[in-house]
């Protein structure tokens, strides 16, 4: 492995590593626009120029492979002059409309100007006019004037999705990003072009004008949209709840994981968050004479723990949306402690769209986790036993019987039961069937793990507290068990 020197630091990297990657390894940032480690090298922005000893010209660090004994300077006067010059060129025709630009706050033109620019403008000329606020797809907007023509989006559509919707048209300073005639950026991954756009040229219709990025908090998590378990960041509105009444999550962004999703997430996962704060079940409810009444958790725990005396009449259907911690608690309580025979997971949303890149047909995040904890897909047997009158008490996690069985069948099933306890985050139609409806937390409101389809256990983190009085399934079950005199301590 060649050893080179960057800014006086000795660095050892594998043969073929570019200078920019070697520098990254040594903690040295080299500014860049067109370079993206998930795409081919375009070398067009010229922002990453560095001085390499024995080379007469400055070299682009994204494309120059390291060699043994190479000496690189990223902070020399020549490099600083070049960086400043490139920024000046990039901003010559830039509209400088930061106050109305959604990228403001996470824009590499802003960031680099403050770090590497800081020159006085010499521009006396009119700027080139280009197309603005162009809808180029169901989720993506283009502002041609803000674009630095780095071609990341074009390369993404060529190299990652192989859909080739985008291209650069015209020459010189009239060059613009465009979609092919009659086409739209409408593939299953189109939102990624917004992520990789280093400036405000591509913005996301879902996020535009919703929230200034500096009001966002970021929490690492895992996408619950399918069994791939793409690593994501939940961006949520920290201090300005009045800007977006009722919704805390503002957007989801991919988080790099070399083994799972690299730099990308699919659109299905990306826009799959509005449900988090919509139609939530806020308080525990008990049906009294057919009418739901709000109750306290203490009342609920007290009464429900009484049901634990009848484990042979009990059925439990967990969900593959639950974390491993929630599932382990259910397994401990119902299987190990109470010896309930009829415990299963129900596999809903198991056959959606699948592709070769990221999307998996199983649209739940933790089927492998449920299986690893010994749960089986036997919900059909449980429903049969309910109909036969063998099961009188059903603990149902997350599922909507109306959706699963249809309205008539669900009501019929309900009539066979003595007590139906539903734990779930949402106040959907099916919740009305329940004798007890207990509000549970969504993935963004809890810590835990999901096991993806390959068996990879991945951590999710709590972004914000559960809405209303909701608690995680794990807490609910633990408390209920404690009321029944059962103490469960999980270490997972």
Partner 1 sequence: MKSYPKILSKNFEVPHAQHIGVYLSGGGYEAARKVYTSWKPEQLIEEVKKSNLRGLGGAGFSTGMKWAFIPKDSTRPHYVVVNADEGEPGTFKDRYILCKDPHALVEGILIACFAVGSHKAFVYIRGEYVEPIRIFREAVREAHEKGFLGKNVFGTGYEVEIVIHQGAGAYICGEETALLESLEGKKGFPRLKPPFPAVKGVFGCPTVINNVETLACLPPIVNLGAEWFAKLGCEKNGGTRLYSVSGHVNRPGLYELPLGTPLREIIEEHAGGVWKGRQLKAVIPGGISASILRSDEVDIKMDFNSLARVGSMLGSAGVVVMDETTCMVTTLLVAARFFAHESCGQCSPCREGTGWVLKMIERIYEGHGRSQDLDNLLDIGKNMMGNTICAFGDAAPTPVISYITKFRAEFEYHVRHGKCDLEDRSQKSE
Residue 44: CA atoms inside 13 Å, Cβ hemisphere, count?
12
- Which strands sit side by side in the sheet containing 3-6, from one edge to the other? 9-12, 3-6, 71-73, 49-52, 59-60
Phi then psi for residue 73, to 5 deg, are -120, 125
Query: Which of the stretches 35-43, 233-241, 378-386, 398-406 binds partner 1 when contact is defined by CB under 8 A?
Result: 35-43
129 binds partner 1 (CB under 8 A): no
Of 176 and 268, nearer to partner 1 (C-beta) is: 176
172 binds partner 1 (CB under 8 A): yes
- Which residue is listed with tokens 């375009």? 42
123 binds partner 1 (CB under 8 A): yes
Q: How far is the CB of 380 from partner 1 (least distance, A)?
A: 56
CA 37 remoteness from chain centre: 20
Residue 424 CA to residue 398 CA, distance in Å, equals: 4
Q: b/e map of 143-152 (b: 16 or more CB within 10 Å)?
A: bbbbbbbbbb
Pick out residues in 373-392 that bind partner 1 (CB under 8 A). none
Query: Which of the stretches 45-53, 109-117, 213-221, 356-364 binds partner 1 when contact is defined by CB under 8 A?
Result: 45-53
88 binds partner 1 (CB under 8 A): yes
215 binds partner 1 (CB under 8 A): no
Residue 83 CA to residue 172 CA, distance in Å, equals: 20
Local structure of 153: helix, strand or coil: helix
Of 1 and 169, nearer to partner 1 (C-beta) is: 169
Contacts of 88 (CB under 8 A, 6+ apart): 117, 119, 122
Helix/strand/coil percent split, the chain, to 5? 30, 20, 50
Residue of the chain from 19, 23, 39, 58 that contacts partner 1 (CB under 8 A): 58
167 binds partner 1 (CB under 8 A): yes
- Tokens of residue 402, six digits: 């109306």
- Which residue is listed with tokens 């991919």? 254
Q: How far is the CB of 237 from partner 1 (least distance, A)?
A: 35
By CB under 8 A, how many residues form the interface with partner 1? 36
Yes or no: say if 216 and 162 are a contact pair by the CB < 8 Å rule. Answer: no
Of 61 and 323, nearer to partner 1 (C-beta) is: 61
43 binds partner 1 (CB under 8 A): yes
90 binds partner 1 (CB under 8 A): yes
Query: Which of the stretches 44-52, 250-258, 335-343, 430-438 binds partner 1 when contact is defined by CB under 8 A?
Result: 44-52
171 binds partner 1 (CB under 8 A): yes
116 binds partner 1 (CB under 8 A): no
Sign of the four-CA dihedral 433, 434, 439, 444:
negative
Of 77 and 126, nearer to partner 1 (C-beta) is: 126
Residue of the chain from 80, 132, 174, 274 that contacts partner 1 (CB under 8 A): 174
Of 35 and 397, nearer to partner 1 (C-beta) is: 35
111 binds partner 1 (CB under 8 A): no
Yes or no: say if 453 and 438 are a contact pair by the CB < 8 Å rule. Answer: no
Residue of the chain from 98, 134, 175, 488 that contacts partner 1 (CB under 8 A): 175
Query: Which of the stretches 3-11, 120-128, 318-326, 431-439 binds partner 1 when contact is defined by CB under 8 A?
Result: 120-128
Query: Which of the stretches 117-125, 129-137, 214-222, 325-333 binds partner 1 when contact is defined by CB under 8 A?
Result: 117-125
Residue 249 CA to residue 244 CA, distance in Å, equals: 9
110 binds partner 1 (CB under 8 A): no
Q: How far is the CB of 141 from partner 1 (least distance, A)?
A: 22
120 binds partner 1 (CB under 8 A): no
**Residue 406 CB neighbours (<10 A):** 11
Phi then psi for residue 224, to 5 deg, are -90, 10
**Residue 196 CB neighbours (<10 A):** 19
89 binds partner 1 (CB under 8 A): yes
Q: Outline where 150-207 has alpha helix (H).
A: 152-155, 192-196
Residue 344 CA to residue 371 CA, distance in Å, equals: 10
**Binding footprint of partner 1 on the chain (CB under 8 A):** 41-47, 49, 57-58, 63, 81-82, 85-86, 88-90, 92-93, 122-126, 128, 148-149, 167-168, 170-175
């Amino acid at each position: 492995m060649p050893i080179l020197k960057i800014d006086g630091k000795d660095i050892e990297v594998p043969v073929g590593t570019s200078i920019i990657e070697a520098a990254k390894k040594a903690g040295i940032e080299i500014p860049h626009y067109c370079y993206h480690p998930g795409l081919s090298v375009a070398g067009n922005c010229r922002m990453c120029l560095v001085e390499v000893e024995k080379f007469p010209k400055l070299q682009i660090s994204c494309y120059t492979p390291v060699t043994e004994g190479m000496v690189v300077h990223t902070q020399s006067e020549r490099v600083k002059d070049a960086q400043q010059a490139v920024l000046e060129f990039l901003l010559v025709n830039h509209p400088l409309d930061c106050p109305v630009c959604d990228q403001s706050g996470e824009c590499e033109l802003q960031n680099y100007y403050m770090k590497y620019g800081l020159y006085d403008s010499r521009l006396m000329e009119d700027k080139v006019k280009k197309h603005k606020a162009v809808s180029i797809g169901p989720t993506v907007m283009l502002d041609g004037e803000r674009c630095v023509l780095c071609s990341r989006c074009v390369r993404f559509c060529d190299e990652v999705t192989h859909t080739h919707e985008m291209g650069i048209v015209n020459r010189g300073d009239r060059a613009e990003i465009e979609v092919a005639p009659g086409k739209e950026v409408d593939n299953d991954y189109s939102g990624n072009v917004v992520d990789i756009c280093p400036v405000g040229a591509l913005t996301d219709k879902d996020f535009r004008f919703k929230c200034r990025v500096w009001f966002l908090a970021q929490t690492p998590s895992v996408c619950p949209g399918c069994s791939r378990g793409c690593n994501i960041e939940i961006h949520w509105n920290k201090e300005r709840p009045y800007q977006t009444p009722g919704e805390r999550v503002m957007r989801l962004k991919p988080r790099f994981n070399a083994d799972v999703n690299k730099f990308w997430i699919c659109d299905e996962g990306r826009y799959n968050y509005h449900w988090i704060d919509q139609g939530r079940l806020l308080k525990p409810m008990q049906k009294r004479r057919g009418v739901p009444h709000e109750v306290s958790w203490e009342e609920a725990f007290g009464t429900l723990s009484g049901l634990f005396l009848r484990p042979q009449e009990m059925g439990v259907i967990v969900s593959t949306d639950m974390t491993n911690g929630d599932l382990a608690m259910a397994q401990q309580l119902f299987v190990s402690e109470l010896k309930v025979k009829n415990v299963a997971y129900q596999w809903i949303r198991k056959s959606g769209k699948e592709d070769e890149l990221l999307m998996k047909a199983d649209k739940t995040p933790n089927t492998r986790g449920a299986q690893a904890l010994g749960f089986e897909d036997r919900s059909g047997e449980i429903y049969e036993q309910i109909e036969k009158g063998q099961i009188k008490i059903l603990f149902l996690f997350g599922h909507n019987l109306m959706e699963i069985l249809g309205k008539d069948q669900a009501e019929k099933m309900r009539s066979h039961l003595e007590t139906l306890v539903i734990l779930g985050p949402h106040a959907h139609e099916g919740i009305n069937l329940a004798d007890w409806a207990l509000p549970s937390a969504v993935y963004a409101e809890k810590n835990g793990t999901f096991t993806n389809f390959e068996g990879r256990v991945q951590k999710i983190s709590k972004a914000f507290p559960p809405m209303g009085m909701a608690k995680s399934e794990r807490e609910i079950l633990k408390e209920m068990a404690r009321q029944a005199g059962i103490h469960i301590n999980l270490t997972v």
